[in-house]
Amino acid sequence: MVSAAAGLLALALALACLGCLNRHSHWLSHADRDQLVMELRATGWMEVEERDAIFKELHFKTFNQAFGFMSRVALQAEKMNHHPEWFNVYNKVQITLTTHDCGGLSKRDIKMAKFIDKIALSM
């Protein structure tokens, strides 16, 4: 008979393995990463030194416009279950994207960056 503790341990290991599979599905190949980051640089994204992440600073006309932008990004972040690191003062929004589960930049960050650019252009 399996003890309750052994059963919980087996469940935890199974969930951890599912998390690993999920992480691998979001990894970028070196070639894809180089190409996609180059495309994002053209829209103002920068690679973060000492960290596998990308960063962008956006300026809006007013605080309300900046907050509206953040609200739209927040809704998408919830849908994707992928949340940016960000900072807002008045009309300025600073955004850093990285995938903690993967230990760095992933397909999810690229998708979120493209969404952010699309929303910023529409404001």
Overall number of domains in the chain: 1
Asked, for residue 4, whether it belongs to a domain, the answer is no
Higher pLDDT, 23 or 34: 34
Asked, for residue 23, whether it belongs to a domain, the answer is no
Domain with 112 in it: what CATH number?
A: 3.30.1360.20
Domain boundaries, position 102: 28-122
Asked, for residue 9, whether it belongs to a domain, the answer is no
Asked, for residue 74, whether it belongs to a domain, the answer is yes
- Answer yes or no: is pLDDT of 2 > 60: no
What is the DSSP annotation of 15-29?
HHHHHHHHHHHH---
pLDDT value of residue 9? 42
Question: pLDDT by residue (tens digit) across 79-97?
Answer: 999 999 999 999 999 999 9
Q: How far apart are CA 118 and CA 121, in angstroms?
A: 5
Averaged pLDDT score across all residues of the chain: 85
- Are 8 and 14 contacting, i.e. CB atoms less than 8 angstroms apart? no
Asked, for residue 106, whether it belongs to a domain, the answer is yes
Question: pLDDT by residue (tens digit) across 36-79?
Answer: 999 999 999 999 999 999 999 999 999 999 999 999 999 999 99
